Amino acid sequence: MRPEVTELLQRNSDHVRQFQSRFDDIQDVQLPEAVTVCCSDSRVLQDQMWGNDEPGRLFTCSNIGNRVVQRSDSGDVVSGDVLYPVVHTQTEVIVVVGHTGCGAITATYERLTNGGSEPAGISHCLDLLTSDLEPGVELLPAGLSRSAAVNRLVEYNVDRQIERLEASDDVPSAVTLVGVVYDFQDVYPGRRGEVHVINVDGETAVDELRDAHPEIDSRIERLWEY
């Protein structure tokens, strides 16, 4: 067996040792506090960023570009991965997690500015991002470096995903929608691994957000108010 797989199994054995007593109350039921939708990037550890090692606490979805929609015969719909806990486990908080230096956003930016091709499966993912990001590319301030442009589009994409959730009849209005960006590249003020709140229920203005949520005002930060 490849050493990568052997190591995965060894690490699972560590997990088994640590988790023996952690499933007692949730073997047959889950009522997660929140569903989080994060990019799949290997540098962005979805449970760990929330300090979570508690089975049943968070419902975690991941895909490239932290998308909340899928394309169906009847148009774009909120994806089942995100909706499942909202519909079936009484979850009333959805958190969309973008991150600095996102490869999916970079690829979409490249596609919109230079073209380029990808295998069909990746193209499908980028198609969903492209239609959302195209107006954002137009709005970008002139003279930005590529990475500065991408990090602004990361925020823009999180905003569009929140907008998609807000617009959907499948998401009850009682659900709180939060958009954040995870920074491990020293782009935002703060420390590596910090999550910055950029959107709550569609509100994106930093001053408005800080006034409305003073208990988390130090966690509210944006690179780009467009």
Residues that bind Zn ion (CB under 5 A): 39, 41, 102, 104
Q: Which residues of 173-208 are buried (b: 16+ CB within 10 A; e: fewer)?
A: eeeebbbbbbbbeebbeeeeebbbbbbbeeebeeee
Tell me how far apart the alpha carbons of residues 32 and 50 are, in angstroms, rounded to a whole number: 13
Q: Which residues pair with 72 in a beta bridge?
A: 75
In the complex, least distance from residue 167 CB atom to Zn ion, rounded to whole angstroms: 23
In the complex, least distance from residue 104 CB atom to Zn ion, rounded to whole angstroms: 5
Tell me how far apart the alpha carbons of residues 176 and 172 are, in angstroms, rounded to a whole number: 9
Q: Cβ closer to Zn ion: 39 or 195?
A: 39
In the complex, least distance from residue 41 CB atom to Zn ion, rounded to whole angstroms: 4
In the complex, least distance from residue 78 CB atom to Zn ion, rounded to whole angstroms: 20
Structural Rg of the chain based on CA atoms: 18
Q: Cβ closer to Zn ion: 91 or 151?
A: 151
In the complex, least distance from residue 110 CB atom to Zn ion, rounded to whole angstroms: 14
Q: Cβ closer to Zn ion: 55 or 103?
A: 103
Backbone angles phi, psi at 186, to 5 degrees: 60, 35
3-state secondary structure string, 119-166?
A: CHHHHHHHHHHHHHHHHHHHHCCCCCCHHHHHHHHHHHHHHHHHHHHH
Q: Cβ closer to Zn ion: 37 or 104?
A: 104
Q: Cβ closer to Zn ion: 49 or 102?
A: 102
